[in-house]
Amino acid sequence: MTQKQHRTILSVGSMAFDSVRTPAGKADQVLGGSVNYFSLAASLFTQIKIVAVVGEDFPTEHLQFLSKRNIDITGVQVVKGKTFHWVGEYDSNMNEAKTLATALNVFEHFDPKLPSTHVDCPIVFLANIDPVLQQNVMEQMKTHELVAMDSMNFWITGKPEELKKTLKLVDLLCINEKEAFLLSDEKSLEKAAKKIQKMGPSTVIIKRGEYGSALFTPHSVFLAPACLVEEVIDPTGAGDSFAGAVVGFLAEHGANRKMIKEDPAAWDELLRRAVIQGTVMASFTIQDFSIGRLKTLTREEITHRKHKLMKMLSVNE
């Protein structure tokens, strides 16, 4: 078992307002965006430095709250205009959102500039933004030990060549099943993962919503179920918080790309434990609208639910 070493994470992505309708109800102009979900989840494991852009309408009290949660907000640009706003809904199939409207606002001209204090973070998480911007972030980094990334079908179809350039810089890719099939042009999880690994990232995590997730490393495959919850309120941000817990746990235990080649058994074991943490984190996120549950979540609650999940998975051969 690896000892805790608490490497700092740099996360670059979106901060937004969401208006969401689900079978459980609706919420208007609530906080969303990949950076909000990722950083709140990861901050329960290690220190986070974030880079994003918001408008003048973004609540200063939220930024103040983030700064109290082990999150460095000095890389957040506050510019004239309105914050990115996404409107979506879920029907009985809570695995996929239907986008009703998107107002990019200040996010349309987002040009991530890393403060000098951010260019040597050991671990980088490139959240779902234009792959050209992701490359720009990596060009600004002086040193790094591990790069993780998320993407979505919009970039897979819209900028496939730029996305492939970015993938060559990545150690770990975390995307959902639909995106994995679209990126790889394959129909099975294993074939999709193997094809994506050849694009750059040696480790691929495929999120499958209520069916859990599949982890593919250079040496093994691990399937994790989803946590059972009594009611799903809002799935928005579950994937970002899943990634936040995975990468946060890896950072807490000193993960780096050397481990992938020099100690593959330790890397595989650490990743499996990280995926379980991500599974548990996502199960809390979906129990409230927006970041409501993440704002009050404790490490003790995560540990308790993790133990319950592991008990469900245990079997005597």
Determine the pLDDT at residue 151. 84
Q: By the 8 A CB rule, do 76 and 11 touch?
A: no
Q: Residues 263-304: pLDDT tens digits? A: 999 999 999 999 999 999 999 999 999 999 999 999 999 999
Determine the pLDDT at residue 313. 87
Domain interval for residue 158? 9-313
Continuous H helices in the chain: 34-42, 60-67, 131-140, 153-158, 160-167, 177-184, 189-197, 238-252, 257-262, 264-285, 292-296, 299-313
pTM here? 0.95
Determine the pLDDT at residue 16. 96
- Number of folded domains in the chain? 1
CATH number at residue 295: 3.40.1190.20
In-domain check, residue 3? no
The answer for residues whose C-beta is within 8 angstroms of residue 212's C-beta and 6 or more apart is: 223, 224, 225, 226, 279
Show the beta-strand stretches assigned E in 80-159. 85-89, 98-103, 123-126, 146-149
Alpha carbon 16 to its chain centroid, in Å, reads: 15
In-domain check, residue 263? yes
In-domain check, residue 107? yes
Determine the pLDDT at residue 4. 65
The answer for residues whose C-beta is within 8 angstroms of residue 71's C-beta and 6 or more apart is: 39, 40, 43, 47, 48, 49, 50
In-domain check, residue 2? no
In-domain check, residue 89? yes
Q: Residues 243-258: pLDDT tens digits? A: 999 999 999 999 999 9
Q: By the 8 A CB rule, do 176 and 153 touch?
A: no
In-domain check, residue 169? yes
In-domain check, residue 4? no
Determine the pLDDT at residue 153. 82
Determine the pLDDT at residue 177. 94
In-domain check, residue 249? yes
175 strand-pairing partners: 206
Residues of the chain short of pLDDT 70, as ranges, are 1-5, 317
